[in-house]
A and B are shown apart, each in its own frame.
Chain A
């Protein structure tokens, strides 16, 4: 990550209703002009939303979160970082979600577990610079040496006299100063807030119903829309009959609508009413005929059969290659040649998709549970012919995201309907809409081949066949999936001499999308299960085998931790222990799962130990929570649910046939966080990929049965 030099223009003195504010932000180089606040904007929040930190003359500190809070804890993490170097008490700052604005905040896409790792260095530097300027302003006011001053709890103190100013008394003077050229950041050992398991700032809002999620937001004059969309995910509206719909009390409009899905469009018929319930009733009475000719109506079985055929008969695009694994494989008297299969999955956020749009002629304002406000701003401005500035995107709390809410279809649909009917509207997706309408995590099949000689991997080849989300975003079809080995630890590429990773391009009409931990969520299962097979073929301890191939000091420290906390070394052979280690978004997570067979001969998970190495981190309790949650989500994806298609339509409709892990399914989980001086890695996603392979490796250890297809049924697997 590049850190930016902070210049005068990053610190703005602006006049607002509440008085002068010291406002800090880092601007993209192309747009580095200081901006004068407009009164209209000032009225919205009392201050302009142009940066991370605002301090008004009363000393009130407001910290803006430029990223979405979907459970992963940025609402805590960003303030915890800023408050550390700014020297303010976290309890006394207000936290507000920033609007979508790439010019002000840079990338706001809350994905790839990128918030902390992508911005912490700049945030630390900005906060420290602001503190230094406030101290300098105080020293000048007192006419004392700055070195005799210190900052604490939103005040600058003069050490000898114990005089003090609160920050509000200093902001006007401070904002006239040049930012320091170089600012010394605190040592990690001096942190008062960072690295501590502080309580989340949003918890209290989430225990009494006051947190505002997208569906909770209302604006004056707002109507509600529920939309009938093609169950086959593609195609256009041929015709519709709304006679019965229009008789439902409360129904105001029935309009054809559309939304962009990557470079394609989907159509629907929106029923707009004065209540969600009336809109739902109106939709039930609607008759729509679809035209989806030209799109193949696939079954899941056909998809996976085709992937297997491709893997048997075709070579793929080379993603990585070293040595000559193919000739070793050809000549070997014994080789391992197996297929792994992972299903289509749906995000199933607890808050179904929804979005408010208020079309105002030359401007649209949007409110919703949104992971990528800047993408939406960009997309809507292009689609609807507006300037970026006239697409105002407001983030609410998100009731889950997992990648689904980093997509533009549902805000686009809301904008189209609002424009059509001429009033503000909230589009509400039902659970069934959410589950049946995609896009989905793509189902992938892997063919894994290897030769093991004298306890060593002589050749290693993995081919995958599955949909590439990049193809839907304009990516070149002749390029292999750039995530072909996501999840697989990089040092293997150095230690395995003859290795080949290939991608066989595979298409269906079903739009695919990122899902928590993206391709690592499926690759992890294939690669880490296959490595386990190779360890067994090599007659080596599975963890020792990995250590042998992962020649990296940091990884060895982590492996040692995994070994220690799980009691790996003292376990009895074939007593049901499995291990897996995967990398995802610059963090590595190792997991050991212990299983046993109950008296009913069902497999039961006794324990999960997880060791996260994410380098520099903000809040260890948030990390533990994220890893716990990732394990639960992975348990569901590995053993409980999948999306299937019959005749081009999604079979699963709701939680009754897309079963979720529940409290009685959850084993004891222990999470450990490594301490080191490495740069920050991701936290929200990396805990997911190692769980499924650690579980199936454990089941192999106990039963000798190798599971190569997800999901599998824990109740019947060992019978």
Chain B
């Protein structure tokens, strides 16, 4: 066991965990942030996507020792009040069905929109193809990303800077 110090959602954490433990389990079971989901454990489905220093990573295949001294954002910290343009667009279009994959979907979409404020359908395909939704909400995910891009452009904000 070891103590891994890192920042999650702008808060300092000292995670007491096996350094080899996947970050996913450290976030969920040590930091007790349950919004990040376990879907496949092998980087196939994207349910566990979090931001590590601003980049989307799959926490199920990232060892917790790698985040020592690093900066993490999970779905709980993406915005205050559920108000990131991606979250607002998701709400407006009622994207989720079961909702289990959507923490990961939203975290992937947020990085896409920060890097590319006006994504085309093809850009969306490339950025979002790593996130599986078994309920099949894909048509709405696409629509919501376009809507979030529009909101972001109108507000002049470019997502949350990390």
**Interface residue ranges, A against B (CB under 8 Å):** 69-73, 199-200, 202-213, 215-216, 218, 249, 275-278, 348-352, 397-402, 430-432, 621, 625-626, 628-633, 654-656, 660-664, 666, 668-669
Give Cα distance in the complex from A216 to B141, angstroms: 24
| Given known A213-B100, A663-B125, A666-B139, contact A208–B87 (CB-CB < 8 A) | yes
Chain B positions 70 through 83: 1 when the CB is less than 8 Å from some CB of chain A, otherwise 0: 00001110110010
Partner of B38, one of A73, A215, A400, A621: A215
Q: Are B41 and A431 in contact (CB under 8 A)?
A: yes
| Given known A431-B40, A654-B40, A663-B125, contact A629–B97 (CB-CB < 8 A) | yes
| Given known A207-B90, A351-B98, contact A277–B29 (CB-CB < 8 A) | yes
Q: Are B35 and A350 in contact (CB under 8 A)?
A: no
Task: Return chain B residues, CB-CB under 8 Å to A663.
Answer: 124-125, 128-129, 131, 138, 141-142
**Smallest CB gap from B106: residue in A:** A207
Give Cα distance in the complex from A215 to B142, angstroms: 28
Nearest chain B CB to A563's CB is how many angstroms away?
23
Give Cα distance in the complex from A431 to B75, angstroms: 22
**Smallest CB gap from A664: residue in B:** B125
Nearest chain A CB to B97's CB is how many angstroms away?
3
Q: Is B69 an interface residue (CB 8 A)?
A: no
Partner of A207, one of B82, B97, B100, B129: B82
Tell me the B108-162 residues at the A interface (CB within 8 Å).
124-126, 128-142
Give Cα distance in the complex from A213 to B96, angstroms: 14
Give Cα distance in the complex from A654 to B41, angstroms: 9
Task: Return chain A residues, CB-CB under 8 Å to B131.
Answer: 662-663
Give Cα distance in the complex from A122 to B50, angstroms: 45
Task: Return chain A residues, CB-CB under 8 Å to B139.
Answer: 628, 666, 668-669
Task: Return chain A residues, CB-CB under 8 Å to B140.
Answer: 625, 628
Beyond contacts A218-B32, A350-B98: 7 other A-B pairs, Cβ-Cβ < 8 A, are: A209-B33, A209-B35, A209-B76, A628-B139, A629-B135, A629-B136, A662-B131
Could you say which of B17, B35, B96, B139 has the most chain A C-beta atoms within 10 Å of its C-beta?
B139
Give Cα distance in the complex from A210 to B33, angstroms: 9
Partner of A399, one of B29, B36, B100, B106: B100
Q: Are B138 and A666 in contact (CB under 8 A)?
A: yes
Give Cα distance in the complex from A209 to B102, angstroms: 8
Nearest chain A CB to B3's CB is how many angstroms away?
15
Q: Is B8 an interface residue (CB 8 A)?
A: no
Nearest chain A CB to B4's CB is how many angstroms away?
13
Give Cα distance in the complex from A430 to B103, angstroms: 19
Task: Return chain B residues, CB-CB under 8 Å to A632.
Answer: 133, 135-136, 138
Q: Are B138 and A209 in contact (CB under 8 A)?
A: no
| Given known A277-B25, A629-B135, contact A656–B87 (CB-CB < 8 A) | no
For this complex, 24 residue pairs linking A to B, each with C-beta atoms less than 8 Å apart, are: A71-B98, A71-B135, A73-B97, A200-B96, A204-B91, A210-B35, A215-B38, A216-B28, A350-B39, A350-B47, A350-B132, A351-B98, A351-B100, A629-B97, A629-B136, A632-B136, A633-B135, A633-B136, A655-B45, A656-B42, A660-B45, A661-B138, A662-B128, A666-B139
Q: Is B101 an interface residue (CB 8 A)?
A: yes
The count of chain B contact residues (Cβ–Cβ below 8 Å) is: 61
Nearest chain A CB to B59's CB is how many angstroms away?
12
Task: Return chain B residues, CB-CB under 8 Å to A276.
Answer: 25, 29
Q: Is B12 an interface residue (CB 8 A)?
A: no
Q: Are B91 and A207 in contact (CB under 8 A)?
A: yes
Q: Are B38 and A397 in contact (CB under 8 A)?
A: no
Give Cα distance in the complex from A631 to B139, angstroms: 11
Q: Are B97 and A71 in contact (CB under 8 A)?
A: yes
| Given known A70-B98, A625-B140, A629-B97, contact A208–B35 (CB-CB < 8 A) | yes
**Smallest CB gap from B30: residue in A:** A275
**Smallest CB gap from A351: residue in B:** B100
Task: Return chain B residues, CB-CB under 8 Å to A628.
Answer: 136-137, 139-140
| Given known A207-B82, A207-B87, A276-B29, contact A350–B37 (CB-CB < 8 A) | yes
Q: Are B103 and A209 in contact (CB under 8 A)?
A: yes
| Given known A208-B82, A209-B36, contact A400–B44 (CB-CB < 8 A) | no
Q: Is B67 an interface residue (CB 8 A)?
A: no
Q: Are A277 and B42 in contact (CB under 8 A)?
A: no
Partner of B98, one of A207, A399, A656: A399
**Smallest CB gap from A250: residue in B:** B18
Could you say which of B90, B128, B136 has the most chain A C-beta atoms within 10 Å of its C-beta?
B136
Task: Return chain B residues, CB-CB under 8 Å to A206.
Answer: 96, 99, 102
Give Cα distance in the complex from A397 to B102, angstroms: 14
**Smallest CB gap from A197: residue in B:** B94
Q: Are A625 and B134 in contact (CB under 8 A)?
A: no
Nearest chain A CB to B30's CB is how many angstroms away?
8
Task: Return chain B residues, CB-CB under 8 Å to A200.
Answer: 94, 96
Nearest chain B CB to A654's CB is how many angstroms away?
6
Q: Is B34 an interface residue (CB 8 A)?
A: yes
Q: Are A350 and B34 in contact (CB under 8 A)?
A: no
Task: Return chain A residues, CB-CB under 8 Å to B25.
Answer: 275-277
Give Cα distance in the complex from A540 to B94, angstroms: 42
| Given known A277-B22, A663-B124, contact A351–B37 (CB-CB < 8 A) | yes
Q: Are A204 and B82 in contact (CB under 8 A)?
A: yes
Give Cα distance in the complex from A136 to B152, angstroms: 51
Q: Are B82 and A654 in contact (CB under 8 A)?
A: no
Give Cα distance in the complex from A70 to B132, angstroms: 16
Nearest chain A CB to B113's CB is how many angstroms away?
15
